[in-house]
Amino acid sequence: MIPDYLRKELSVLFFIINKEQTTTIEISHELELTKRTVRETISTINTHFEEHQKIKNFIVINKSGSVQIQSTFELTALDSAYNLKLQLLKKNTLFNYSILLLTRTSLDQTEVTEELFISISYLNKLTHTLNKFFTTFNFTISVVKGQYSLTGNEMNIRLFSYLFLQDSFQDIEWPFNNISLESIRENVPEEILIDSHKRSNTKNRSLYILYAILQTRVQNQNYVVQPTNKLIQALFKMVKENLDIALIFQQDRLGFLEKKVKNTEIDYFNFLSRIFISDIIPKTDKINLGRIFAKENHPYCILSIDILKTSSVLVKDQTSEDDYCLFHYYITLFNTFYFLVGDTLDSFTSLFIPPLSYHSHVQNDYMSTIKAILASLTITENHKKFLSNLLYTLYTSEMTSEVMIYLQISKDFTASFFIENRLSNLFNSEQIMITDNYSLSDVVITDTLERTASNKKIFYLDSIDNENRWKELLFLIQNTYLDKQNTQKERIHL
């Protein structure tokens, strides 16, 4: 739906944004573009920043190929990038047509052509193009008596609307021209609003976008239908009984609904909220539901038990009971969601710009072990791919390393005491430790000559008051910690 040239430009922009410094060679390799294309794209990005935001030379590139954000714009780079993304998207007619369809229940042909400044023949062409794209999501643009509307799988229409609108607009603009943001805020249950001050503007805005989508679809009698799969129905029931957060339906905020329709809407809202707006679910409730999943005789819960049992070699012995419950929670919810949407999940992840990569680029023994474990427990390659990524995230979050630091300070007899205390206040003492055994050390902090050793990082600290060197030291320790974690991942075997 978004043209390739624009995806390419935005991919290059966000790749650079995520790096303190990069090179044309690295961008070329990671994004599979020629170095010439990379340079041309950076030039285009700079031109667009100047056109849309009056910013000159946003990205600096030198003759050697080094690339970075101009220092003047570093602090606001992310904000500028997302603003430019929306500005460029809004110049695309197909994008604007999609927004009209997603934010209105139905559109008159004349209304569409006038808002987009296009002819009927071009509208027909755009409709054909979008229908080819929407087919992947099992819905389509229906044209009846000159009225254009989205019909088909209602759950997918809502998920698509939420992901696409939230990713495109963030908290920059409100995408609904026919519904005010204020009216949506007024319709959000008080119990949800009470914690709004704890959430970021973007998270609150994503919640309002979701409620606006529900209002648009439900008030025009576009309802979700009960899953035909009885196992999914049973899982929905478990989720609702744990914590029912569908207050917008319980309080009839969207108008009166027949009991069967209302119950189905409540089931979907409770389940999907735990995936797409999970921040509103307290951690204790996630743990409690995970504990229920771990004891249930439901096939999806049993599958989670089998996955955790088979992959126990990857879970550290010190993992807490609460974390095990969270593992059950996330794995069971993910599998249920996959069984609900199938391989359409792949299409949903492609909606994001920049695209979600998860851990698709990871190729190490740890990931290979996970995939080998899941080979007999998953139903398709896509199922295995997404579940592998989930387990990789869950299990590596538990992974810890130890960085041993040796102090060789001779010029200031209180400096060792100061360094040790400061590091203990900045880091977890179980992971970052001071040792008096030089042979065990990973990092040596010294104020005098120390010969370079192949298995140690030597750091010269001329003065404990040198704050710039302290920043570099902290960065070195963090990098050493991550390097040791990556080494662990390379040495995992069944």
* Window from 124-138, 215-229, 271-285, 476-490 with minimum mean pLDDT: 476-490
CATH of the domain at 71: 1.10.10.10
* Model pLDDT, residue 494: 47
User: Do 136 and 245 belong to one domain?
Assistant: yes
Domain boundary among 248, 276, 304: 276
Residue 454 has pLDDT above 80, yes or no: no
**Could you write out the DSSP letters of every residue in 193-243?**
HTTGGGS-HHHHHHHHHHHHHHHHHHTTT------S-HHHHHHHHHHHHH-
User: Do 15 and 163 belong to one domain?
Assistant: no
* Model pLDDT, residue 449: 77
* Window from 90-104, 320-334, 354-368, 369-383 with minimum mean pLDDT: 354-368
* Model pLDDT, residue 491: 66
* Window from 130-144, 216-230, 234-248, 453-467 with minimum mean pLDDT: 453-467
Q: Is residue 82 part of a domain?
A: no
**Measured distance CA(481)–CA(473) in Å, rounded:** 12
Q: Is residue 88 part of a domain?
A: no
Residue 492 has pLDDT above 80, yes or no: no
User: Do 237 and 307 belong to one domain?
Assistant: no
Which DSSP letter does residue 315 get? S
Domain boundary among 276, 296, 313: 276
> What value does the mean pLDDT take over residues 191-201?
83
User: Do 175 and 237 belong to one domain?
Assistant: yes
Helices (H), 360-466: 365-374, 381-396, 415-426
Q: Is residue 87 part of a domain?
A: no
Structure-model confidence comparison of residues 192 and 261, the more confident one: 261
Q: Is residue 337 part of a domain?
A: yes
Could you tell me the pLDDT band of residue 485, with boundaries at 50, 70 and 90? confident
Select, from the ranges 136-145, 195-204, 355-364, 455-464, the one with the highest average predicted confidence (pLDDT).
136-145
What's the domain count of the chain? Answer: 4
Structure-model confidence comparison of residues 361 and 353, the more confident one: 353
**Measured distance CA(70)–CA(48) in Å, rounded:** 15
* Model pLDDT, residue 448: 85
Q: Is residue 441 part of a domain?
A: yes
Q: Residues, the chain, total? A: 494
Which DSSP letter does residue 44 get? H
Q: Exposed/middle/buried for 114, CB within 10 Å: 0-12, 13-18, 19+?
A: exposed
User: Do 155 and 49 belong to one domain?
Assistant: no
User: Do 101 and 247 belong to one domain?
Assistant: yes
User: Do 252 and 140 belong to one domain?
Assistant: yes
Give the CA count within 13 Å in the CB-facing half-sphere of 97: 29
**Measured distance CA(109)–CA(164) in Å, rounded:** 23
Domain boundary among 77, 102, 117: 77
> Which neighbouring-strand residues pair with 434?
405
State pTM to two decimals.
Answer: 0.90
Q: Is residue 83 part of a domain?
A: no
User: Do 102 and 221 belong to one domain?
Assistant: yes
> What value does the mean pLDDT take over residues 359-364?
72
User: Do 271 and 292 belong to one domain?
Assistant: no
**Measured distance CA(433)–CA(420) in Å, rounded:** 9
> What value does the mean pLDDT take over residues 207-231?
97
User: Do 145 and 220 belong to one domain?
Assistant: yes
Secondary structure string (H, E, C) spanning 141-205: EEEECCEEEEEECHHHHHHHHHHHHHHHHCCCCCCCCCCCHHHHHHHCCHHHHCCHHHCCHHHHH
Which DSSP letter does residue 254 get? T
Structure-model confidence comparison of residues 356 and 190, the more confident one: 190
**Measured distance CA(298)–CA(236) in Å, rounded:** 12
On whether the CB atoms of residues 353 and 167 are closer than 8 A, the answer is yes
pLDDT digits (tens, 9 = 90+) for 469-480: 999 999 999 999
**Could you write out the DSSP letters of every residue in 355-372?**
PP-TTTT--SHHHHHHHH
Q: Is residue 161 part of a domain?
A: yes
Domain that holds residue 121: 93-276
Q: Is residue 63 part of a domain?
A: yes
CA distance between the termini of the chain: 43
pLDDT digits (tens, 9 = 90+) for 102-148: 999 999 999 999 999 999 999 999 999 999 999 999 999 999 999 99
User: Do 447 and 381 belong to one domain?
Assistant: no
User: Do 408 and 392 belong to one domain?
Assistant: no
The β-bridge relationship of strands 22-23 and 66-69 is antiparallel
Any idea what the Cα angle at residue 75 is, between residues 69 and 78, rounded to 5°?
Answer: 70
